[in-house]
Amino acid sequence: MDGWLEVHDSTEQTINRLLETLLTSGVVDGLLVPLRTPDGRNAVPTLVRDPALLERAAPLAPVLPVNGATVLGRITATGAPGRVGAVLRNCELRTAVELSKVQQVLLDDVLLIGMDCLGAYGVEDYARLVEEGLDAVTPALMAAREGGVEPLPGYAFRPACTMCERPIPGVGESYAPHIAIGLLGVPNDERLWVSLRDEELGEALGLEPAEEPAGRIEAVRALVAARTAERDRRFAAFHERVHDASSLLAEFATCILCQNCMRVCPICYCKECIFRTDVFDHPSARYWDWAARKGGVRLPSDTLLFHVTRMLHMAHACVGCGMCSDACPSGIPVADIFRTVGRAVQARFGYVPGRDPAEEMVIATFREDELRELGER
């Protein structure tokens, strides 16, 4: 069911009131939603049970300190005692879909709430703009009314956001959440465009049924086109930079093998990465063997093996959330790399991460009648 939700006060307050309704009416028993930290310099996913706390809810704050699906896993995977409403950006929603396929998130008792993602800043940038007394939300909503998505002057969105071609929940190859809140191409200071999975909720929320306005459809199309172009530009730039062994080594030359990219990557769901297990706990003599064979060995060893293995393990399901790039202390565009590689793997199997929880992961299945050219002379 699609329709309009009247805005009273501000857009953000309207959304917060909607969340409050869900919680107080018992539709959900808890809410996973970003709350402004007491100092206001960050907005962090919080499991909220007391409706009073929703006063600090910041569903529109353009910052992404952690991937919300990872924490959604924490509060659902081993069985949630109640139903949780999860407010997620679209990349987080994709992540939740992927993680549900590997039992890291349990979607059974989750009410998914998505909204048009108007881009996010890095945590440092966001804190800085708050310190400078800037309001990041109002100008973004204003621009969105006209169909535009622009960062504040002097600031830039996270690179992953600039190349995210699936920012709108339920649109294109995005999984439709239970509640999708539209901000783009609609008068979002007067009313919000809401899509619901089931009718009943519409009545509870006081939704006024309507046809999707043409202006919104056009704005979404234009945004997706612009993002796709930026994505392809970044793919091409990567290929321009990296095309052989030495340029690949150069790409990772500044890597300090801190493994942050793996730790923050939601798709690297392993309890402990293989690179942190006994498998890579080499006896000293092994290093000497390598040094003897190759003349020398870079230490810590296996930098490139770490990255390539990570690609082999998870690039097929990379959702493009960009957490890895955010976390890299050396400024390596990890997400650009993983998205480029991931895209090729996904395309080979027609797999779209985050599209549908029922879609089997590339490595979880096979077909007898595929890839016939492989293995033959």
Smallest gap from Cβ 74 to other proteins, in A, equals 13
Smallest gap from Cβ 293 to other proteins, in A, equals 6
Buried b vs exposed e over 253-284: b needs ≥16 C-beta within 10 Å?
eebebebbbbebbbbbbeeebebeeeeeeeee
The smaller minimum CB distance to other proteins, of residues 8 and 367, is found at 367
Smallest gap from Cβ 326 to other proteins, in A, equals 22
Taking phi over 0 as left and psi of -120 to 50 as alpha, with beta for the rest, 52 belongs to alpha
The smaller minimum CB distance to ligand SF4, of residues 75 and 264, is found at 264
C-alpha span between 223 and 154 (Å, rounded): 21
> Which of ligand SF4, other proteins, none does residue 332 bind (CB under 5 to 8 Å by kind)?
ligand SF4
CB-CB contact of 268 with 314 (8 Å): yes
C-alpha span between 281 and 166 (Å, rounded): 40
Establish if 278 lies at the interface with other proteins (CB under 8 A): yes
Smallest gap from Cβ 181 to ligand SF4, in A, equals 23
E-strand ranges in 37-123 read 43-48, 84-88, 110-115
The smaller minimum CB distance to other proteins, of residues 71 and 220, is found at 71
State which of residues 222, 297, 300, 330 lies at the interface with other proteins (CB under 8 A).
297
> Which of ligand SF4, other proteins, none does residue 328 bind (CB under 5 to 8 Å by kind)?
ligand SF4
- 109-128 residues in contact with other proteins (CB under 8 A) are none
**Token pair of 290 as six digits:** 């390598």
H helices present in 206-315, as ranges = 214-241, 245-251, 260-264, 284-294, 303-314
- Report CA Rg, the chain: 22
Establish if 274 lies at the interface with other proteins (CB under 8 A): yes
Smallest gap from Cβ 36 to other proteins, in A, equals 32
Establish if 290 lies at the interface with other proteins (CB under 8 A): yes
Question: Can you tell me which residue has the tokens 């895209």?
Answer: 343
Closest to 82 measured CA to CA, from 32, 28, 34: 28
Pairing of strands 84-88, 208-209: unpaired
- 224-263 residues in contact with other proteins (CB under 8 A) are 239, 242-249
Q: Which stretch binds other proteins (CB under 8 A): 143-151, 196-204, 318-326, 358-366?
A: 358-366
Establish if 49 lies at the interface with other proteins (CB under 8 A): no
322 CB contacts (<8 Å, ≥6 apart)? 64, 91, 158, 159, 160, 161, 164, 335
The smaller minimum CB distance to ligand SF4, of residues 271 and 372, is found at 271
Size of the site for other proteins (CB under 8 A): 68
Pairing of strands 43-48, 84-88: unpaired
The smaller minimum CB distance to other proteins, of residues 166 and 316, is found at 316
112 CB contacts (<8 Å, ≥6 apart)? 86, 88, 93, 96, 175, 177, 178, 179
**Token pair of 264 as six digits:** 């923050």
Smallest gap from Cβ 375 to ligand SF4, in A, equals 21
The smaller minimum CB distance to other proteins, of residues 207 and 257, is found at 257
Footprint of ligand SF4 (CB under 6 A) = 160, 255-262, 265-268, 270, 273-275, 309-310, 313-314, 318-324, 327-330, 332, 334-335, 338
CB-CB contact of 299 with 356 (8 Å): no
- Positions that interact with other proteins (CB under 8 A): 77-78, 102-104, 239, 242-249, 269-274, 277-279, 285-286, 289-291, 293-298, 302-305, 308-309, 311-316, 340-341, 344-345, 348-349, 360-368, 370-372, 374-377
